[in-house]
Structures are given as C-alpha cells and as structure tokens.
Amino acid sequence: MQIQDLPYPDPGVPDARSGPRLLWWLFRNQLDGQLKSLAWGLLHFVSVTALPFGVGLAIQAVVDRSGSRLALAGGLMALAGVGVALGDTFLHRAAVTNWITAAARVQQLLARKAALLGSALTRRVAAGEVVAVSTGDVEKIGWFVEAVSRFTAAAVTIVLVCVGLLLYQPALGVVVAAGLPVLALAVLPLLPRATRRADFQREKAGRATELASDTVAGLRVLRGIGGEELFLDRYRSASQDVRHAAVRSARMWALISAIQVLLPGLLLITVVWYGVHLARQGRIEIGELVTVYSSIMVLTYPLRHFEEIAMAYSFSRPSAKRAARVLRLERATDTGGSRAADLPSGDLYDPATGLLAPAGRLTAVVCGDPDAAGVLAERLGGHPSEAGTSALLGGVPLDELPLDAARTAVLVQDKDPVLLSGTLRELLDVPKSGEVGAAEALSAAQCEDVLAALAQGSLDAADPMDARITERGRSLSGGQRQRLALARSLVTDPEVLVLDEPTSAVDSHTEARIATGLRELRAGRTTVVFTSSPLLLDRADRVVLLHEGEVVAVGVHRELVHKEPRYRAVVTRETDEEAARHNANRLDELHEIEETA
C-alpha cells in the first residue's frame, strides 16, 4: 500500500483483544512495507558502519605506504557513501509510508466503528476520549509500527559489527561485544517508570481535551449565564496538570537519553585506553585502533534506535489499548442481521413498555422522565434494551434486521440533533425516498425565516440553499437549528419517523404550524413524537402516557387532560395544590350529576 492509494478499500478486521495484539495485527498487515523498510535500513546502517573499516584500512595503507590498499580503501568508502545515500533516502520514504498507512488504517477502522455504533459510541466512551484516540493516538500507533523495522535493521547491524570486530581485532572486539549489550539494555529498568509517567500524562491530556470539547459545545449557554470564566479556570487548571505531567515524563526520558550518551562515551574511553595500551605493546596496528574507535563512534547512531523503540512502544501501548477498547465495542445487534433485508411494515411495538404505534398514524408519547424517553426512542430505532428486548416493526424485531435495512425502516431524530457545516443543500442531501422534496420539508418545518436569515447572512449565495451553515449551526438560534434538523428528517421520508422533543426550542405560534405541517406531510406514514406540548398532542391521532416505564393510559389529548391526573401533571405542569383543587371540582361535579339523576 502506497500513500497515493489511500484510503484502504477495506481496512480489515482488527485484532482488538488488547493493545499489543492490535499493534501486532497492524505490523502483519503491513509486512510488505516492513520488509522494504528493513532492507533499506540494513543497507543504510551497514553502509554507515562500513565507513570506519574503510578509514582504518586507508590509515594503515598510508602507514605501510601501500598505494593499492589505499585505492581499495577509497573504493570501499565511495561504495559505502553511495549505500548511505541510497539507504537513507529510501529508508525515509518506506518508513514514512509505513507510518502514514498504519495511522490511516486505524483512522478508517475508528471511522467505521463510529458509523456503526452511531450515538451509542459517545454513551460508552467520552467524546474527548474519542477525539484523542482518533487524532494523537493514531499518530503514536503509526510511529511504533514504522519504528519496528528501523529498530530491527539497527539491531542486526550492531550484531554484524560486533562479529566483524571480533574477527578483525579479537582483543578489542571482545571489549566492544561485551559492552554493547550493556549499552542496549541499560535503560530497561527505567522504562516502566517512564511508561507510567507517559500514561499519566496521556490521561491528563484526555481529560483536558474532553473538558475543552464540552466547553466549546456549551459556549453559547455559558455566555448566557456568565459562566465562561468558571470553565476557563477549570480548563486552565486541567492544562497546568497536563504541563506538570509532561515535564515529569520529559525528565525521565531526558535521563534515558543521558544514559544513552554517557555509556557509549565510557565504552569509547575504555576502548581507546585499552587500544593504546595494546598499540604500545605492538599487538595491534594503528589502523586497527582507528577502525575500532571509529566503529564505536558510528555505533552510537544505530544504538539511538533502541531508545526510540522503547519510547515509541511506551507511548503507543496505551494509545493502542485505548484504540482497541473503542474497536472492541459492538452494537447490541448483529449488523449483518439474521433476517432478509426486506423492509417490514406494520405497527411499531415496544414489548418493554407496551407502547404501540399503529401503522400510518401519528402517535404522541408523553413521558415525565426525559432520560427514559430518550432510551425508548433509541430502542424504537433498533437499539435493544439492557434486558435484550427490541422493538418490533410489523412483528419483526428490529435487531434481527441488517443494519442498513433497520436504518432505512426507522429514523430517530435525537433531542439534540447535530447540523454539520456546509450548505443547506448539502445538509438536505441525505438518503431519501424521493417522495418528499426539500421545499416541502422546509415548509412543513416552518423554515421560511431560517432561509431568509441564511440568505441575508450570505454574501455570495443568491439561493438560500447555497448559503453556508457554520459548524453545528452555531450561527443559528436553537429554534432555527431544531427546525432545520426536522426538515432534514422529513425529507428522508422513512417508513417510521421517531422524533424526540422536535419543537422544544420553538415558540408556540410556530409550533402550532409545525404540528399541522407534520401531520399533513406524514399522512399515511407512521410517526412517533415524544413531547409534552399540548399543541403537538392535540394534533396526534393517538396519545400514550408512560409512567415508570409502562404504558398507563391511551387516548386523545382532550380526553386524557380531563381523565388522567398523571397526564395532566406532565402536560400542564400542574402543581399538587392545583391537582387537589381540580380533583375536588371533579368530585363536586359528580355529586351534582348524582343529585340531578
């Protein structure tokens, strides 16, 4: 896989049982790129370490006044120089390719998982954590995956140099061969502490990211209540925690780097001292001493890759662990489905609560608990409850349908729908039946003033449909965002449409017109609206009252207001005193009727 071939046609099925398993899976799926990187790395490192042998051979040739050996040394150094240039160029190319393709594969896997889970993702993993995994973590994972092949090339090169020195000059070669493993393994005792500090820093950074995303999302509300400074202080404190953690982590890595510099220096001093002693005794030639000395100097370069691989693994392991945790998440349903993809039709029924929404009718659901209403709305969209029960459409459990078929059959609009940035035309460019046009949907959702506001605020769009909407529609009011989201849901024209409080931010006059437009446009289609608005409830064909997770009353709005105290308490916001007075009046009316009879 080359960078120009991205994205992957199919990123594959990851081994997400643990972070190390995910890293190993990524390595295996990039074996071709890893082998290329290893080959170029060997060429580069071997060429670098061959230079000292050429230098030593040249010096000894000068001492011995041998022109042929000097020419041979010159040729060897020229050949090594070519190898260094080619190896370094193509190693960098292969390494960057491995890095970017590994990160891109993880990003594609995360994007696929997010699309699969939908709104269930942020209920299981904090939004800030999802952002951190899909940005910084994928970079760290890609870094480790590409560093493995370079580290392997460096390790093989060090072994070859040790063997070569033993054969070339056994007396000094033994000292080098004994000292290099100590250099390579000296930092191992410090790695657990460095890893813990890196994990702690990453945890603090994730919390700060989550706090920042929550603050930005609620900035309009914070400004309304004057709470910006409070949240800025919280973020300032969180960012300082991240800074302190980063400094502590950097100190440990600085210590590791210092050891990586100190120990090779000590080995170099030892070799030079011992080599001079041997040279004075006549046991080695000057050229051999220069060769060994130069080799140790050059070996500090591949030795740095031991520190890099340790650092890369320390940072990537927790990142891979978090990515694997997200990739392990599954829908409560089998996305492939156990039934045919034929779209069912008929009544929508929820066995957990007993809610029945007849086919082709507008059903309003009144629930005093907004959280319970949201859970029920999701269950009607195909997400089973914790007990495993799923809503049925035409007698077919939605969790047994393939995911695409379930999404086509039922559309759920959340209480707080999201508007993505782009033009209004792009916002309404969604999968749809084609039976409902954009103009009809916008009219039913009472978006005339929204179109006017978009046209007025756009300098280069003559058509309001080409006017741009900012991220999450923050330039619009809450009611305007809500109506555009409703229009987007209406234009899809699904078999079943579930709306959770679609007019909570709209004034009563507009809400009354929306109720009429919704009823007319969805005529003959199944629509379920979770609301406590009398204006919407009065337009519904059927009103259902939910109390403590069960259906306790079914009827029409005007009947339930008079007959059901629990319904009246939710819809009219009636106090206990008003309820008692209303019951007393009802008793008086009954007594009068009995006396008259």
pLDDT digits (tens, 9 = 90+) for 178-210: 887 787 777 778 877 887 887 788 778 777 776
Question: In terms of Cα–Cα distance, which of 20, 84, 25 is closest to 51?
Answer: 84
More confident call, 83 vs 387 = 83
- The pLDDT confidence band at residue 338, using thresholds 50, 70 and 90, is low
Does the pLDDT value for residue 275 go beyond 90?
no
The DSSP 8-state label assigned to residue 18 in this structure reads S
Rounded distance between C-alpha atoms, residue 389 and residue 393, angstroms: 13
CB 163 within 8 A of CB 353: no
Does the pLDDT value for residue 91 go beyond 50?
yes
CATH top-level class of 348-563 = alpha beta
Does the pLDDT value for residue 583 go beyond 60?
no
- Least confident span in 103-117, 201-215, 512-526: 201-215
- The pLDDT confidence band at residue 587, using thresholds 50, 70 and 90, is very low
Question: In terms of Cα–Cα distance, which of 114, 78, 123, 15 is closest to 386?
Answer: 123
- Least confident span in 117-126, 475-484, 565-574: 117-126
Q: Write b or e for each residue in 366-376: b if 16 or more Cβ atoms lie within 10 A of its Cβ, otherwise e.
A: bbbeeebbbbb
β-partners of residue 412 are 498
Structure tokens at 446: 């009472």
Q: Quick one: pLDDT at residue 526? A: 94
Strands 542-547 and 550-555: antiparallel
Does the pLDDT value for residue 165 go beyond 90?
no
N-term to C-term CA, the chain? 90
Rounded distance between C-alpha atoms, residue 597 and residue 594, angstroms: 5
Rounded distance between C-alpha atoms, residue 374 and residue 173, angstroms: 73
From the number of C-beta atoms within 10 Å of its C-beta (0-12, 13-18, 19+), residue 167 rates as exposed
Q: Quick one: pLDDT at residue 590? A: 46
Structure tokens at 184: 């390579």
pLDDT digits (tens, 9 = 90+) for 306-326: 878 888 888 888 888 888 988
Q: What is the mean pLDDT of residues 223-251?
A: 78
Q: What is the mean pLDDT of residues 359-376?
A: 89
Does the pLDDT value for residue 487 go beyond 90?
yes
Percentage with pLDDT > 90 across the chain = 28
The DSSP 8-state label assigned to residue 382 in this structure reads T
Give residue limits of the domains in the chain: 12-328, 348-563
- Superfamily of 12-328 according to CATH: ABC transporter type 1, transmembrane domain (1.20.1560.10)
Rounded distance between C-alpha atoms, residue 384 and residue 396, angstroms: 13
Mean pLDDT of the chain: 83
β-partners of residue 496 are 410, 526
User: What is the side-by-side order of every strand in the sheet holding 392-393?
Assistant: 355-357, 348-350, 392-393, 396-397
384 upstream amide cis, omega within 30 of 0? no
**What pTM, to 2 d.p., does this model score?**
0.65
Tell me which H or E stretch contains 410: strand 410-413
Structure tokens at 150: 């370079």
